[in-house]
Amino acid sequence: MTGTTIDTPLRDEEPTITAEPSVAVTPAKRHRVSTRIWHWVNLFAVVMLFMSGLNISNAHRYLYWGDWGFSPEQAWLAVPRFPGWATIPGHYSLAEARDWHLLGAWIFGVALLFMWLAMLVNRHFSRDIATSRKEWRWPNVRNDIVQHLRLNFDSGVGKYNFLQKVTYGLVLGVILPLLVFTGMGISPGLEPSFSWMIDAMGGRQSVRSIHFITSWALFAFFVLHVALVLLSGPIRQIRSMITGVLR
């Protein structure tokens, strides 16, 4: 008797679903304590200085070059009058605005000195902000510009990309110190002590004009800085400037 083998149909094998391992995002240390303290103190001081400076500007809205100037015909720029909501105090008062400006200037100047000392000690400037010769080569510069236009701000290496380094270097090394020195040069109480600087810059009215230009250059940086923070994730960026860790 021959046995008959009945083959049972094989069931289709069910595909094995393998869960992809989750990639843990490692928090990266972004900002030192000294940088975070200076950032928020400086923001407070700059807002006070800028708004009180607008009130001071309302006292005489014309800018000149040279040692002197008093008539609109001599001015190279006629500055518009700023409204009360944009000034400190909210009403026109040259005396009160100068008091606010002096207070902000002390906070601003001491904080900047603290920041520079901290950067020299912890090598933040030389390590994270100073650029190398290789970074100035046109292919690297062009690539960084393209990445910014694509809203890709990740440097890949180090804390900052090339454009960030150049911008922060100009702000910390040129604009902020220039604001301090030109501000002291046109301050009624300090002007006699800085006559040498006034002469070197072409006269008191030239110093006043340079102070005005650098103030608005800093304002332009502030607007650009805020815009890039909003585009690159405001919550994580602000949190990193508070906690020091970028997640």
Q: Is residue 23 part of a domain?
A: no
> What is the value of pTM for the model shown?
0.84
Q: Is residue 4 part of a domain?
A: no
Q: Is residue 1 part of a domain?
A: no
Q: Is residue 15 part of a domain?
A: no
> What confidence tens digit (pLDDT) does each residue in 102-135 have?
999 999 999 999 999 999 999 999 999 999 999 9
> What confidence tens digit (pLDDT) does each residue in 146-168 have?
998 988 877 655 578 999 999 99
Q: Is residue 19 part of a domain?
A: no
Q: Is residue 2 part of a domain?
A: no
Q: Is residue 232 part of a domain?
A: yes
Q: Is residue 10 part of a domain?
A: no
Which of 232, 204, 230, 235 lies closest to 222 in space, CA to CA? 230
Report CA 237 to chain centroid distance, whole Å: 13
- Count Cβ atoms below 10 Å from residue 207 Cβ, excluding itself: 23
pLDDT-flagged residues of the chain (< 70)? 1-27, 155-158
How far is Cα 143 from Cα 146, in angstroms, rounded to an integer? Answer: 5
CATH number, domain of 189, equals 1.20.950.20
Structural domain of residue 85, as residue ranges? 33-243
Q: How many domains does the chain have?
A: 1
Q: pLDDT value at position 10?
A: 47
